[in-house]
C-alpha cells in the first residue's frame, strides 16, 4: 500500500527517502541512532498530534511525504473528498512548523489533521512503547474480533436494523413531544383544504368572470351601441337597403358592360356580410338583459377567489396546487392515534428483528472469541510469552429505554469485545491498557495480526521493540511471523536482534554522524554484502569476526 516515504527536517533526520517493496522491511542501527524518529514520521502520517519540538534545529518546518496506492484507501479518500475518480495513487504530505502549526495535503488538496486521521484509521498502526496504541481502544478490539470471525456483513445488518428502529422511535417521540403542535397544524391544514374545496374552483374561471363582469357593468353602453349599429345597417335607408338598390341599378347595365359583373358579385358578398352582422347584433342585443342578481353573484364570486389568491396563490392553478401540497402534508403528519398505533407496530417489528440479529451476532462473537483467544495464546507462546493468558470478554452495552422498549443493543450489537491479558504467571488478566508493557503489547499486536491475516485488509504496520527481551530461537520464530504477516501488510520493524533482521526482504540501517558540529541521522538501504556485516555486528555484540559473519550468512540463508 505504501510505495515511498520521504522525511525532511524531522528531529535528527535532515533528509531520507525509503522505497517499499513486497515483504518485510527491517530497520537496524546502534542505540540512539534515531530509529525511533521513523516512529514519529509514521505517526505524523496517521494523523497523530505532535509537538513542534520534532522540527530539526534551524529548520522552519518538518515534512513527511508518502505515496500510497490500494483500492481501499483510494475508495475512502474519494468518500472523504480528497481524491478524484481518476486518481490511482495518493500523495499525503504533512508538515509541522516551528510555531506548532500543522498542514496536511492529500493529492494537492488541503485537508485537516482530523481528516487525515479518518483517512488512515485502521490502515496505519504503530506498535511502540510510549506511542498511543490503537489496539487499546475498545471499539478497535470489537472490530478485530468481527474481522477475525468474518462478521462484518452481519454487523452491518445489525446497524441497519438499529437505524430502522431509531427512525421509527424518533418519529414516535416527535409525535409525543410535538403532539399539540401537530394537532394545531392538522386543524390548520384541514381548514385550508376545506376552504379551497368549498370554493369549487375551475382553472380559468376568474378570467371568464372578469369578462362577464365587464359586460354587465357596461350594459347601457353596449345596448346603445348595438341599437344604433342596427339602425345604420338595417333601417329603411340603411346600408343593406342601399346595397340592394345599388345592385338593382347595375343589373340593368351588366348586359351592356359584362365587366361590371365582378362589381355586382362584390356587392353581393357585402350584402351577405351585412346580413350576418345584423343577425349577430340582434342576437347579442337579445342577450343584453339587465340581471342585477347575476351581477352581484359575479362580484361576490370574484371577491371570494381573490381572497383565496391572497392566501394561497396568484391563480386558480396555484391555489389548487397549494391544496394538493396541504393534503400531502396532512396525510404525512395526520392519522392521529391510527398513525401512532401503526408506528408502535413498526417499532415492535423493528425491535424483534434487531434483537434477533443482535443475538445471532452475540453467539457468533462468543464462539469466535474463544477461538481467537486460543490462537493468540499459541502465537504468544511462539513469541516467548508461553505463560501468557489472553481472553476475549464480551461486555454488554448499557440498555436504554426508548418509546416503551428496553433496548440492550446498539448499532454495533449487544456487546463490545474487550481484550484481557495476563502477561506473567500468577497474575489475573487485566484490560490491555493495564496489563502489558510496550514490548509485550507489540508482541500481542504481532500475535493478533497473524491470527487475523487471512481475513484482514492490508495496511501499514510499524513494530518497535517487538523483540524486547527475547532472543535465540524465539527471535527466529518472531522473524518468521513478521515475514508471514508481510504477505498481507506493509511491515516496518525496528529491531535489535539479528534473527529478526535476517528475516527482512528489505534492510535499512540507521546511523548517526556529526558534521560541522551538527548531528545528522542517515538511513541507508543495505545491499546483500552490507547486510552480512550489519547482521554480523548485531550477532557479535558490535564486533565483526569470521564467526559472526558466518553466523550472519547462515541466518540470511535460512
Q: What is the pLDDT of residues 376-404, one digit of tens each?
A: 999 898 888 888 899 999 999 988 888 88
Q: 556 and 463, same structural domain? A: no
Q: 10 and 58, same structural domain? A: yes
**d(Cα 81, Cα 276) in Å, to the nearest integer?**
77
- Listed residue (498, 504, 499) closest to 534, CA to CA: 498
- Supply the pLDDT for residue 217: 62
Q: 123 and 11, same structural domain? A: yes
pLDDT over threshold 90, residue 161: yes
Q: 304 and 227, same structural domain? A: yes
Residues paired with residue 8 on neighbouring β-strands, in sequence order: 15, 63
- Supply the pLDDT for residue 295: 66
Domain annotation covers residue 92? yes
pLDDT over threshold 50, residue 132: no
- Supply the pLDDT for residue 370: 94
| Single residue among 314, 347, 375 that ends a domain in this structure | 314
Residues paired with residue 29 on neighbouring β-strands, in sequence order: 510
Domain annotation covers residue 156? no
Q: 511 and 550, same structural domain? A: no
**d(Cα 511, Cα 12) in Å, to the nearest integer?**
11
Q: 534 and 518, same structural domain? A: no
Q: 209 and 88, same structural domain? A: no
What order of strands is seen across the sheet that includes strand 61-68? Answer: 109-111, 102-106, 90-97, 61-68, 2-10, 13-19, 518-525, 506-515, 24-29, 490-494, 460-464, 124-127
pTM value is: 0.63
Q: 120 and 5, same structural domain? A: yes
183-187, 323-327, 476-480, 482-486: least confidently modelled range: 183-187
Domain, as residue range, for 541: 530-558
**d(Cα 120, Cα 100) in Å, to the nearest integer?**
22
Q: 257 and 222, same structural domain? A: yes
Domain annotation covers residue 161? no
Instruction: Quote the mean pLDDT of the chain.
Output: 84
Q: Are 56 and 13 in contact (CB under 8 A)?
A: yes
| Single residue among 314, 332, 356 that ends a domain in this structure | 314
Q: 290 and 237, same structural domain? A: yes
Grid cell digits, residue 536: 554480523
Q: 57 and 30, same structural domain? A: yes
pLDDT over threshold 80, residue 291: no
Per-residue confidence at 238, pLDDT binned at 50, 70, 90?
confident
- Supply the pLDDT for residue 115: 92
Query: Phi first, then psi: what are they for 101, rounded to 5°?
Result: -75, 140
Q: Are 4 and 479 in contact (CB under 8 A)?
A: no
Grid cell digits, residue 465: 521493540
**d(Cα 376, Cα 399) in Å, to the nearest integer?**
31
Residues paired with residue 463 on neighbouring β-strands, in sequence order: 127, 493
For the segment 115-120, the average pLDDT, to the nearest whole number, is 90
Domain annotation covers residue 350? no
- Supply the pLDDT for residue 215: 67
Dihedral sign for Cα 437, 438, 440, 445, please.
Answer: positive
Q: What residues have CB less than 8 Å from 338, skipping those under 6 apart?
A: none
| Single residue among 314, 338, 354 that ends a domain in this structure | 314
Q: 558 and 493, same structural domain? A: no
- Supply the pLDDT for residue 334: 64
Buried/exposed code over 355-383 (b: 16+ C-beta within 10 A; e: otherwise): bebbeebbebbeebbeebbebbbebbebb
> How many domains does one find in the chain?
3
Domain annotation covers residue 73? yes
Domain annotation covers residue 341? no
Domain annotation covers residue 334? no
213-217, 274-278, 352-356, 539-543: least confidently modelled range: 213-217
Cα radius of gyration (the chain): 45
**d(Cα 406, Cα 354) in Å, to the nearest integer?**
12
For the segment 139-157, the average pLDDT, to the nearest whole number, is 92
Domain annotation covers residue 320? no
Q: Report the CATH number at residue 69.
A: 3.40.50.300
Grid cell digits, residue 23: 515483504
Amino acid at each position: 500500500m505504501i510505495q515511498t516515504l520521504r522525511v525532511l527536517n524531522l528531529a535528527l533526520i535532515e533528509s531520507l527517502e525509503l522505497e517499499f517493496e513486497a515483504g518485510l522491511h527491517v530497520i537496524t542501527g546502534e542505540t540512539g541512532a534515531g530509529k525511533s524518529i521513523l516512529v514519529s514520521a509514521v505517526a505524523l502520517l496517521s494523523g497523530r498530534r505532535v509537538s513542534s519540538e520534532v522540527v530539526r534545529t534551524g529548520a522552519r518546518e518538518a515534512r513527511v511525504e508518502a505515496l500510497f496506492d490500494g483500492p481501499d484507501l483510494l475508495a475512502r479518500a474519494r468518500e472523504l473528498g480528497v481524491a478524484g475518480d481518476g486518481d490511482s495513487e495518493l500523495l499525503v504530505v504533512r508538515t509541522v512548523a516551528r510555531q506548532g502549526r500543522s498542514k496536511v495535503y492529500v493529492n494537492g488538496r488541503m485537508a485537516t489533521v482530523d481528516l487525515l486521521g479518518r483517512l488512515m484509521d485502521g490502515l496505519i498502526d504503530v506498535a511502540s512503547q510510549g506511542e498511543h496504541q490503537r489496539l487499546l481502544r475498545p471499539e478497535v478490539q470489537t472490530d478485530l474480533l468481527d474481522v477475525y470471525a468474518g462478521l462484518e456483513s452481519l454487523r452491518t445488518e445489525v446497524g441497519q436494523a438499529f437505524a430502522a428502529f431509531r427512525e421509527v422511535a424518533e418519529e414516535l417521540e416527535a409525535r409525543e413531544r410535538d403532539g399539540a403542535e401537530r394537532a394545531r397544524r392538522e386543524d390548520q391544514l384541514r381548514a385550508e383544504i376545506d376552504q379551497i374545496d368549498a370554493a369549487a374552483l375551475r382553472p380559468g374561471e376568474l378570467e371568464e368572470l372578469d369578462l362577464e363582469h365587464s359586460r354587465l357593468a357596461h350594459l347601457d353602453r353596449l345596448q346603445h351601441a348595438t341599437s344604433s349599429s342596427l339602425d345604420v345597417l338595417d333601417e329603411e335607408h340603411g346600408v343593406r337597403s342601399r346595397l340592394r338598390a345599388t345592385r338593382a341599378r347595375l343589373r340593368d347595365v351588366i348586359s351592356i358592360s359584362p365587366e361590371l359583373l365582378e362589381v355586382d358579385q362584390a356587392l353581393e358578398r357585402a350584402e351577405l356580410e351585412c346580413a350576418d352582422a345584423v343577425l349577430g347584433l340582434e342576437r347579442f342585443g337579445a342577450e343584453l338583459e339587465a340581471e342585477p342578481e347575476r351581477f352581484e353573484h359575479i362580484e361576490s364570486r370574484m371577491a371570494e377567489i381573490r381572497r383565496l389568491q391572497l392566501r394561497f396563490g396568484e391563480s386558480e392553478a396555484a391555489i389548487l396546487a397549494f391544496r394538493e401540497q396541504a393534503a400531502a402534508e396532512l396525510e404525512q403528519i395526520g392519522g392521529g392515534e391510527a398513525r401512532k398505533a401503526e408506528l408502535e407496530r413498526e417499532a415492535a417489528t423493528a425491535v424483534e428483528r434487531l434483537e434477533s440479529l443482535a443475538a445471532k451476532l452475540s453467539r457468533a462473537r462468543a464462539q469466535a472469541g474463544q477461538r481467537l483467544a486460543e490462537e493468540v495464546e499459541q502465537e504468544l507462546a511462539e513469541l516467548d510469552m508461553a505463560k501468557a493468558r489472553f481472553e476475549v470478554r464480551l461486555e454488554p452495552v448499557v440498555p436504554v429505554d426508548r418509546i416503551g422498549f428496553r433496548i440492550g443493543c446498539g448499532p454495533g450489537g449487544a456487546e463490545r469485545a474487550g481484550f484481557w491479558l495476563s502477561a506473567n504467571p500468577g497474575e489475573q488478566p487485566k484490560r490491555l491498557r493495564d496489563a502489558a508493557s510496550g514490548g509485550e503489547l507489540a508482541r500481542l499486536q504481532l500475535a493478533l495480526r497473524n491470527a487475523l491475516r487471512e481475513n484482514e485488509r492490508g495496511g501499514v504496520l510499524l513494530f518497535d521493540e517487538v523483540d524486547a527481551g527475547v532472543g535465540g530461537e524465539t527471535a527466529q520464530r518472531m522473524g518468521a511471523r513478521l515475514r508471514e504477516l508481510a504477505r498481507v501488510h506493509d511491515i516496518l520493524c525496528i529491531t535489535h536482534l539479528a534473527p529478526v533482521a535476517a528475516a527482512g526482504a528489505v534492510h535499512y540501517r540507521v546511523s548517526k554522524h556529526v558534521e560541522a558540529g551538527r548531528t545528522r541521522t542517515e538511513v541507508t538501504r543495505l545491499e546483500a554484502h552490507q547486510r552480512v556485516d550489519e547482521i554480523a555486528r548485531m550477532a557479535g555484540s558490535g564486533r565483526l569476526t569470521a564467526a559472526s559473519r558466518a553466523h550472519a550468512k547462515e541466518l540470511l540463508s535460512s
